[in-house]
Amino acid sequence: MINTPTENEANLLPGDLAIWFFIFMELLVFGIFFIAYAVMRLQNVEMFNQFQLTLNKEIGATNTLLLITSSYFVVRAVHAIRQGEVNRCIHWIYAALLGGLGFLVLKSVEYYDKFAEGITLSTNTFYMFYLSLTMFHFLHVILGMIILFAVALKAKRGAYSDQNYTGVETGASYWHMVDLVWIILFPLVYIIR
């Protein structure tokens, strides 16, 4: 597909339209999950407040910084390909992937600590939400990284240029969605009490 920014395209979504329907569905699922967490907390306020304190806020905040920075790198990749700078685009995507990898490593450390303490999905309602919500998001980070890696490989093969960058925008849009969800998840599960 050829991209040439024209006035007609000015009000179109960046990337492939199909990814946006996927993004809307994902946001709907996460949105329901977030409201369900808040509603379930209503019935167990003390328990949620007590066990929220056991979470590692430092790791949560660092992961937020990593995802935001990774998203910023993806923006730089999109800007680079729009200017026809393929190599620079690939480098920014690799930098974004490093951010994603850092997120996965830190989250794994957090899970390891919790599992070492014998905490599982059935420990209590708070941990059920904490583990299922964050693991569901964890899987989305992995999927986002696979998409970005595929985009980088395609870019390396010369599939994208300043005239054709729909694929880069598509991967970028999905990655930003992963970031957007975490932006709500972090204060909701780790901070707000």
Partner 1 sequence: MMKHYYNIHTVWLLMLLLTLTTYSIGEVGYGGIGVVLLLLITAAIKGGLIIRDFMDLKGVSFLWRAIMYGWLWIVCLGISIAYFMSL
Positions touching partner 1 (CB under 8 A) are: 10-14, 20, 24, 27-28, 31, 34-35, 38-39, 41-42, 45, 57-58, 60-61, 64-65, 68-69, 71-72, 74-76, 78-79, 173, 176-177, 179-180, 183-184, 186-188, 190-193
Distance, CA of 97 to CA of 144 (rounded, Å) = 9
Angle between helices 125-156 and 86-116 (to 10 degrees): 160
Task: Give, in order, the Cα–Cα distances in Å from 20 to each of 14, 24, 57, 180, 187.
Answer: 9, 6, 32, 14, 25
Q: How many CA atoms lie within 13 A of 36 on its CB side?
A: 13
**Min dist. Cβ of residue 150 to partner 1 (A):** 20
Measured from the CB atom, the residue of 57 and 146 that comes closer to partner 1 is: 57
Residue whose CB is less far from partner 1, 115 or 193? 193
Nearest distance from C-beta of residue 69 to partner 1, angstroms: 7
- Closest approach of partner 1 to the CB of residue 76, in Å: 8
